[in-house]
Amino acid sequence: MDNLNLYGIFYLNLMFSSIGVEDRITVIKKCYWPLLGLIEKGFRIGVQPSGTTLEIIKDLDSAWIEKFKELLKERKCELIGDGYSHIIGPLVPAEVNKYNHILGLQTYKDVLRERPRIAAVTENAYSSGLIEYFIESGYKAIIMDWNNPAQFHPEWKKEWRYHPQIALGNTAKKIPVIWSNCIAFQKFQRYVNGVLELDEYLAYIRSQKPQKGERFYMLYGSDTEIFDFRTRRYASKIEGRAVKGEWGKISKLFEALSREENIRIILPSEVLDLEKDRKHSFKEIRLESPEDPIPVKKQEKYNITRWGLSGNSIDINTKCYQVYNNLRELAKNRLKNETDPLWKELCFLWASDFRTHIEKKRLEEFRSRLSRMLKKTENSPALPLLKPVKKEKFIFKRSGGRLSVESSGIKIVFNLSKGLVIDSMVFKKVSVEPLLGELPHGYFDDIRLGADFFSCHTVIGIPGKSQMTDLIDVRPKIFYKQNNLVISCKMPFLVSARHQVSRGFIEKTITIFSHKNEVELDYLFHLMIPDPVSWRTGFITLKPEAFDGDSLYFACHNGGKNIERFSLRNVNSIDKDPVSLMVSAPSALGNTAGLLELGDAKKKILIETDMSQCASLPMIHFRRLPGTFFLRSFYSLGEIDDTTFAQVTGKEIYKAHFSMTISAKKITDDNNKAYL
């Protein structure tokens, strides 16, 4: 038979950011009961509730739970796994991801007496490091968006979108992937919302039919709470006005599909059982790419910065990392049954919906709950004993606006006329050439790179204004602290060099450690500015002549135990230009272990940050040019998107503390070289 096999998943999330606590019972009545009614009519679909959502439903309407259990037992629908909390996996530490899956499976067992066979990647925010947790949790496959990974993998055959494949992890682990499709579920929503007529939508579905053989296509894979119910967020929008009978339209659609020739509706996991076409299925592929290390569903404006850098995200993520560090210390000295409830609470606090269009009342309660958790896990570990450091002789040279500092392991040249940026940095045990520093105007022939590119500075974007930077003339203080050399300056933060209008100040401190191959950059920000569009600091610009462009790579942890490496060998460009006037960045890295690597087959620069001090996220800017390349990294302390405008503070004082440690090593790991 030449069939188009359709499967659908309805996501249940009562933690949905813009749903008030008082609206939850209404959502169950208007959205969740009609979903079960659809299933009772014989339309077999997948249902993905988080563990938290199941607990809330059980408390508010236990009859719904009983009916859902009955339908699951009769195999009229299928439970799809999520986790205890609706967490963005690439943005939380590995141990939190592990606990979230363990607690989620336990909740499914306790509430439903059911264990899901497959799981959907939360918000389709994927990283290769997450695969190990799905496998360890016993899942046989994951569900992930096709559209965004596919755009950076032109080698994929178009027919593969209709068949399950094998997703490769960042170790030897791999798992089957069943495709979601954001265009398909948006078409479904447009039909239900009245943008498309039934005939138009059915024509779209028919266009997916195979000429020969079998195809598998996701009919729907998104929120349940948007049908016959509207949150206050959409109250003033035309498309958001409550419309009665949307579930009736969905039922009408399923009835029409059931009458279509060569179309059948199956459960999501049946894709694995029914797939027979080995020519187009189960190919081993990587979903991530250097251009898109953390693919997310929907259009580019909907990306990982939404939960990591926009709105209140960076502040509450920093506090969650503080709880995480506290909890790890507590776990060393307490029994497992004493710390498990605390891990469960941390998973709850790391839920994605506290970081987007959260209602004010819920945000206040969340902040109180987070503060209580910080106090509950507070501990006062013994201060580490500082080993005496033998004082090293540093050699200083001053020439014009440059200051050169040299130790036994490092030589750094600072540009004093540009806010103490690093002109060049040599790690003597790694390379005789400087690995990072400044690339002056005219270094590249390409006019797109016709600017000065500095290292270790700050750039802040303000709506309707020129960029603010710390690139001003300074006279730093130089002194010793615990036998390490410290170079420090306090500088006003200017609107522009021309107008010399101060908007606060920055304390910039650089520590060069005695007898160590590393340097620490520390920033204290006290800025008087309106809500910034973007806030980026800690720039590191590589010196192209010091690296092999063919084996160039960057690496970072994105929610997994092992670091994820991304080769730049076949990459032309990675840009960080704004997506639109309302979205300032297209992506970022998870940085969940606070380590970023930039390097080639022989050496690497390591940049370390403390996520419990500031949960900033690194970004990569890369361009390949004839005979050379441009590569730099930087850290974002804030970006904007639609969630930002929902939470504009109106305040004009921003304080932040950001530190990073820069070091370098030779690469001797053959496995690393082989990967590159």
What would the pLDDT profile of 122-160 be if each residue is shown by its tens digit?
999 999 999 999 999 999 999 999 999 999 999 999 999
| Rounded Cα–Cα distance for residues 160 and 150 (Å) | 10
CA distances from 322 to 314, 563, 592 (A): 12, 22, 13
**185 and 312 within one domain:** no
Tokens of 555: 């690496």
What residues form DSSP beta bridges with 176?
A: 166
CATH number at residue 415: 2.70.98.10
Quick check: 671 pLDDT over 60? no
Residue type, 68: F
Q: Which residue has the higher pLDDT, 639 or 643?
A: 639
R_g of the chain, CA atoms, integer Å: 27
Residue type, 318: T
| Rounded Cα–Cα distance for residues 36 and 74 (Å) | 13
666 inside domain = yes
Percent of the chain with pLDDT over 90: 79
Tokens of 584: 């300032």
Tokens of 506: 């920055």
* Predicted confidence (pLDDT) per residue in 466-486, tens digit: 788 899 999 999 999 988 999
pLDDT of residue 468: 85
- Residues contacting 544, CB < 8 A, separation 6+: 439, 628, 629, 630, 631
At 70, give phi and psi (nearest 5°). -65, -45
**331 and 245 within one domain:** no
Question: Between vectors from CA 523 to CA 439 and to CA 578, what angle results, nearest 5°?
Answer: 60
**321 and 298 within one domain:** no
**435 and 565 within one domain:** yes
* Predicted confidence (pLDDT) per residue in 546-577, tens digit: 999 999 999 999 999 999 999 999 999 999 88
Quick check: 622 pLDDT over 60? yes
- 476 in Cβ contact with 488 (< 8 Å): yes
Mean pLDDT over 208-227 rounds to 96
Nearest C-alpha neighbor of 81 from the set 36, 38, 127, 112? 112
107 inside domain = yes
341 inside domain = yes
pLDDT of residue 82: 96
- Residues contacting 372, CB < 8 A, separation 6+: none
Nearest C-alpha neighbor of 52 from the set 306, 354, 297, 360? 354
pLDDT of residue 381: 55
* Predicted confidence (pLDDT) per residue in 325-375, tens digit: 999 998 888 777 788 899 999 999 999 999 888 888 899 999 999 999 999
**281 and 328 within one domain:** no
**352 and 293 within one domain:** no
Average pLDDT in the chain:
92
* Predicted confidence (pLDDT) per residue in 232-278, tens digit: 655 544 444 555 799 999 999 999 999 999 999 999 999 999 998 88
- 86 in Cβ contact with 15 (< 8 Å): yes
Q: b/e per residue, 426-440, with b = 16+ CB within 10 A? A: bbeebbeebbbbbbe
Q: b/e per residue, 131-155, with b = 16+ CB within 10 A? A: bbbbeebebebbbbbbbbbbebeee
pLDDT of residue 421: 97
Burial class (CB in 10 A: 0-12, 13-18, 19+), 36: middle
288 inside domain = yes
- 290 in Cβ contact with 568 (< 8 Å): yes
| Rounded Cα–Cα distance for residues 634 and 209 (Å) | 46
End-of-domain residue from the set 257, 276, 303: 303
389 inside domain = no
Question: Between vectors from CA 287 to CA 302 and to CA 179, what angle results, nearest 5°?
Answer: 75
| Rounded Cα–Cα distance for residues 5 and 266 (Å) | 6
Q: Angle formed by the axes of helices 360-377 and 336-349, to 10°?
A: 150
* Predicted confidence (pLDDT) per residue in 59-69, tens digit: 999 999 999 99
Start-to-end CA span in the chain (Å): 45
**566 and 470 within one domain:** yes
Quick check: 3 pLDDT over 60? yes
What residues form DSSP beta bridges with 553?
A: 567, 599
pLDDT of residue 7: 98
**409 and 372 within one domain:** no
Quick check: 665 pLDDT over 90? yes
* Predicted confidence (pLDDT) per residue in 266-316, tens digit: 999 999 999 988 899 999 999 999 999 999 999 888 899 999 998 889 999
37 inside domain = yes
**522 and 467 within one domain:** yes
Mean pLDDT over 426-432 rounds to 96
- 564 in Cβ contact with 557 (< 8 Å): yes
- 233 in Cβ contact with 10 (< 8 Å): no
pLDDT of residue 652: 63
**582 and 491 within one domain:** yes
Residue found by looking up tokens 């921003």 in the block: 654
Quick check: 464 pLDDT over 80? no
End-of-domain residue from the set 303, 319, 348: 303
**405 and 502 within one domain:** yes
Q: b/e per residue, 53-71, with b = 16+ CB within 10 A? A: bbbbbbeebeebbebbeeb
- Which range of residues forms the domain containing residue 366? 308-377
**89 and 20 within one domain:** yes
* Predicted confidence (pLDDT) per residue in 503-527, tens digit: 789 999 999 998 888 999 999 999 8
Number of structural domains (the chain) is 3
End-of-domain residue from the set 303, 320, 339: 303
